[in-house]
A and B are shown apart, each in its own frame.
Chain A
Amino acid sequence: MKPSHTVVQKIALITGASRGLGRVLAGFLAKQGYALIVMARNETDLHAAAKEFAAAGVPVVSILGDVSVPRDRLRLLEAAKRYGRIDLLVNNASDLGDTPLPPLENASRDTFLRVFDVNTLAPLALVREALPLLTRARGLVVNITSDAAVGGYPGWGVYGASKAALELVSKTLAAELKDREVAVVSVDPGDMRTQMHQDAYLGQDISDRPLPDVTLPFWAWLLSQPPMKVSGMRYQAQAAVWEVAA
């Protein structure tokens, strides 16, 4: 089935798309007809994920790389430039830092810098670099955050601080980019049964957490809203209510 009413092919760029939440979201977008540009660091996982996305019959460009490496981001952007637009940018790739998660008093400066580089500065850099393409599409930027950004949970200080900073970056960008009609939201997907969650809870049973497809209703909703109605908001994908600006 070709979506005959889709005049313009929608383009989504997703980082960390080879596993967990990123993979579920990218797969759902492919089924809705989005052309995908995806990046991840693990070659085997990325290859398998890209094959799965392409089975939906949409163009998929997969790039092996690290969002904190400018050269790798450049390759992402080159792929997007061929389409001339980005409708959706999902900054999903994240670094947990050292595991087991250390209390802040033991967290190293190097880890702090690395985690902020991947979780806060790289998403901002990607938005900056993609801005002309986002502007052309009046696109939406989704920055994936975490309840650790507001929780103060022991062990989650480094990761949580990087996500708290990302949330403020998102909110500020939403205000600064309003005139250009580029929308920016933060999304906390909630606890899920993913590799990252398992890494954070080494050796513990996390099978009571839902699989990441628990977030599909939220994505179906968010991506159906006029982007400027949601810009500046922070959403919890597993919450009971998702609100738009009145």
Chain B
Amino acid sequence: MRRTELVFERPERVFAHEPPEVRGRARDDVRLLVTRPDGQHHARFEDLPRFLRAGDLLVVNESAAIPASLPAEGSLGPILLNLCTRFRSDLWIAEPRWSAGKPGPLPIEPGEELRIGSATARLLAPYPGIPRLWFALADRPFESMIAEYGGPIHYGYTDAWPMETYQTLFSRVPGSAEMPSAARPITPRIREQLEQAGVRIAPILLHTGVSSLEIETDTVEAQAMYPEPFAISADTADAVNRTHMNGDRVIAVGTTVVRALESAWTPEGLRPRTGFTRLFVNPDSGVRSVDGLLTGFHDPVTSHLALLTAFMGIDRVRDAYAEAIRAGYLWHEFGDSHLVIRQRDR
């Protein structure tokens, strides 16, 4: 697929700048656009159980966001070092940026030393194919810097909020550079209604890195990806396989869940798997593991949008997004939700 096919225009007014609870509203007080084979449906998030049925399986990501944005000082003066992927305590992939609102790549050479409080990190080499990311080695565990100096990664369209804002009902294992945000509006009340409706919930783990990459290559599929740690338990693999066998639907809560499940998919179904994945779910690869996706609204020309396109086809993405823009749905991590249900590729 050509990169240009993932370009679309949307006005700035669709950016969600703050979480609903800032204005005293509940987390689940957001809108829900439902895209099914029969068309678009406008709803509130609390209507979610209505669109699901007994036997459906929601798969959620148990990863919790960490304060991965570190103030740093190097040859260019004060910058930010946003941690992305942990290989081990002192070796991460990281993104040096001018500031929250101003990205890199920065004009730096391999060997650049950054001071982070009393610690030192060295940028060893750029990540192959993604020039804004670097391998960063520190003289002590990055975890100690995270604990002492870290703040939430955020971008120009929103402020940094307390870390609690970035956790979901399912956040259990700290490790994501950014919040896996699709489950954010699922409140205890909604979960209870889902359970009463006979919808089951199974966890996976995938620690997400820094924001969805803007695709830079002319061909979408040629874009390099960075790896992320993931784990799928035997219990969850079993639950997914049974759901498919029963003819019920597997609904991924977030693109991270789709990536994890597709990374463990085999012709015989899902199997338990632990490791790192940089699988790029794109229109060429397709999506085989899920029947539905609960997600947010994604930016133009990003890997997340490529995943959505892989899942529902470019024409249906265009229709849904045109409708979302027309009806004023809100984009980004604090915005509205989008439930996509489809017939599964077999």
Residues of chain A touching chain B, judged by Cβ–Cβ distance below 8 Å, are 1-5, 28, 31-33, 210-211, 213-214, 216-217, 220-221, 224, 240-244, 246
Contacts and interface: CB of A to CB of B under 8 A. Distances in A.
B330 interface: no
B87 A221 contact: yes
A123 B138 CA distance: 33
B21 to A, nearest CB: 37
Contact of B124 (A28, A210, A244): A28
Interface in B241-283: 263, 272-280
Contacts of B277: 240-242
B273 A217 contact: no
A224 B88 CA distance: 6
Contacts of B135: 216, 220
Q: Which of B127, B263, B275, B279 has the most CB atoms of chain A within a 10 A radius of its CB?
A: B275
B90 A3 contact: yes
A33 B91 CA distance: 12
B279 A240 contact: yes
Contacts of B272: 246
B125 interface: yes
Contacts, number: 77
Contact of A31 (B113, B129, B137, B225): B137
Contact of B273 (A28, A216, A220, A243): A243
Given A240-B263, A242-B276, A224 B87 contact: yes
A4 B125 contact: no
B128 interface: yes
A221 B140 contact: no
B275 A244 contact: yes
- Pick the 9 closest A-B CB pairs, nearest first: A243-B275, A224-B87, A224-B88, A240-B279, A31-B124, A241-B277, A214-B128, A220-B87, A1-B120
Interface string B130-153: 000001010111000000000000
Contacts of B263: 240-241
Nearest to B273: A243
B87 A216 contact: no
A221 B124 contact: no
B276 A4 contact: no
Contact of A240 (B93, B110, B280): B280
29 contacts: A1-B113, A1-B120, A1-B122, A1-B139, A2-B139, A3-B139, A5-B90, A5-B140, A31-B110, A31-B125, A31-B137, A32-B91, A32-B124, A33-B137, A213-B128, A214-B129, A216-B128, A216-B135, A217-B127, A217-B128, A217-B227, A220-B93, A240-B279, A240-B280, A241-B279, A242-B275, A243-B273, A243-B275, A244-B275
Contacts of B127: 216-217
B91 A4 contact: no
Contacts of A221: 87, 227, 276
B45 interface: no
A240 B272 CA distance: 16
A5 B128 contact: no
Contacts of A242: 227, 275-277
